[in-house]
Structure 1
Amino acid sequence: MGITSKMIGERGRRQAGKLGIDPARVPPGQYLTERFPVLTVGRNPTVDMTRWDLKIWGEVDEPYTLTWEELHALPQTTVTVDIHCVTRWSKLDTTWTGVRVSDLLDRAGVRATGTHVMAHCDGGYTTNVPLEALRAPDVLVAHSYEGAPLEPDHGGPLRLLVPSRYFWKSAKFLRQLEVMPEDRQGFWELNGYHNDADPFTEQRHWF
């Protein structure tokens, strides 16, 4: 008999119990790891920080761009959250620092027609997230992990952090947030991954 999602989930909950952690923090079909596995489509992009910027645009009243220095001049937030990868690993109590996406959206003035956001990244990667999900207080554009600048293997210089979704929604190498008037699928969503990506209901794939 092959290894099933249920078996992996039971392993994860046993791991949590041995560590004195509430097993309910481990989504179905996930196991715990202390490592931070690296999963990237293609090579890490080369980034010229003197030309780097972050663009907020689309269904907004005042689109704008931020330089690296301007991003760091904004109010900074540090959150400690659990992250869950669709490849079945979960890493608990990870600490990130950056700017709340809700603050970036409020500055742009999202129109009533805005419903979803597409994250655009260096290298051409995209992923879509409902606007409401991005307004959660633990959703950041993150530049630091565990008190240090975010390494390229983990999405540096800047990645989206959306803890309530499988980790492919936390797009690496972030460069743009496009507010959209309707949903539009990103890279993995067009290639079989679930559009919503809730780890606690195992929304891994469409099939």
Structure 2
Amino acid sequence: MPVSNNDRVPQGQHLTRGFPVLTYGPTPEVSMEDWQLKIWGEVKPRLFSWQDMLNLPQSDFTADFHCVTTWSKLDVTWRGIRVTDFMAQLELPANAKHVLIHCYGGYTTNLAIAEFMRPDNFFAHQLDHQPLPAEHGGPMRLVVPHLYAWKSAKWVNGLEFTTERQLGFWERNGYHHRGDPWLEERYSI
């Protein structure tokens, strides 16, 4: 029996019952003990450990998830750290206008600071009340619910703050630099 669409599913998307796993390249296996988040660029360099992240305020999130390959999953439950709570730990200068998100395995994606600093974005370490599985980006991933899922970088391990936009992996390979599912910003023009 097909799942019906509603006003939470962007045009060109269909609902999925499961949670498909799409990855370019092998799935990195990173232990919580070895996981780190490096901060550099137009900001004072910092290094956050797994425990540093768990010491920050933790929140539960329920968010819809839209993949550029046309599937959407509604009401995904996560636990993690709001990007805004994390960013309160940094002194970001006014000239830092963009962030390039780096991941274990070499993946990157870009966001404008205004897109990154939205209060509904978070670093997730749990999915459905369980530790985030590696195939879904564990031990830690970024979740950016208002954009297509490739912006919700799996296996996040670095944030490079820049003055100019730098395109990430999929953006260099023809995907849109922003990726708004409501505007169907799938590919560059």
TM over 0.5: yes
What is the rounded CA distance, in whole Å, between the counterparts of 1:69 and 1:159 in structure 2? 15
Q: Is the aligned partner of 1:38 residue 2:50?
A: no
Q: Following TM superposition, by how much is the alpha carbon of 1:203 offset from its aligned partner in structure 2, in angstroms? A: 0.3
Q: Is the aligned partner of 1:64 residue 2:46?
A: yes
The letter for the 2-side match of 1:67 is: S
**Is the Cα contact below 8 Å between 1:56 and 1:108 reproduced in 2?**
no
Q: Is the aligned partner of 1:15 residue 2:8?
A: no
Q: Is the aligned partner of 1:54 residue 2:34?
A: no
**64-73 vs 169-178, which deviates more?**
64-73
What is the rounded CA distance, in whole Å, between the counterparts of 2:138 and 2:11 in structure 1? 29
**Is the Cα contact below 8 Å between 2:167 and 2:177 reproduced in 1?**
yes
Same amino acid, percent of matched pairs: 49
Q: 2:10 aligns with which of 3, 27, 52?
A: 27
Q: Is the aligned partner of 1:121 residue 2:103?
A: yes
Map 1:167-182 to 2 at 5 A: 167-182=149-164
**Is the Cα contact below 8 Å between 2:56 and 2:86 reproduced in 1?**
no
Q: What residue is the counterpart of 1:106 in the other structure?
A: 88
TM-score, scaled relative to structure 1:
0.87
Q: When the two structures are aligned, how many residues end up with a matched partner?
A: 188
Higher relative contact order (CA 8 A, sep 6+): 2
Q: Following TM superposition, by how much is the alpha carbon of 1:49 offset from its aligned partner in structure 2, in angstroms? A: 3.3
SS at match of 2:76: strand
The letter for the 2-side match of 1:50 is: E
SS at match of 1:107: coil
SS at match of 2:54: helix
Name the Cα RMSD after superposition. 1.4
SS at match of 2:4: helix
SS at match of 2:37: strand
Q: 2:141 aligns with which of 159, 164, 184?
A: 159
Q: Following TM superposition, by how much is the alpha carbon of 1:141 offset from its aligned partner in structure 2, in angstroms? A: 0.9
Q: 1:69 to 1:38 in 2, by over 3 A?
A: same
**Is the Cα contact below 8 Å between 2:41 and 2:160 reproduced in 1?**
yes
Query: Structure 1 stretches (4+) deviating beyond 3 angstroms?
Result: none
Q: Deviations over 1:71-104 (max 9, x none)?
A: 1111011111111000000000111111111222
The letter for the 2-side match of 1:38 is: V
Q: What residue is the counterpart of 2:179 in the other structure?
A: 197
Q: What residue is the counterpart of 1:147 in the other structure?
A: 129
**Is the Cα contact below 8 Å between 2:56 and 2:85 reproduced in 1?**
no
Larger radius of gyration: 1
The letter for the 1-side match of 2:26 is: R
TM-score, scaled relative to structure 2:
0.95
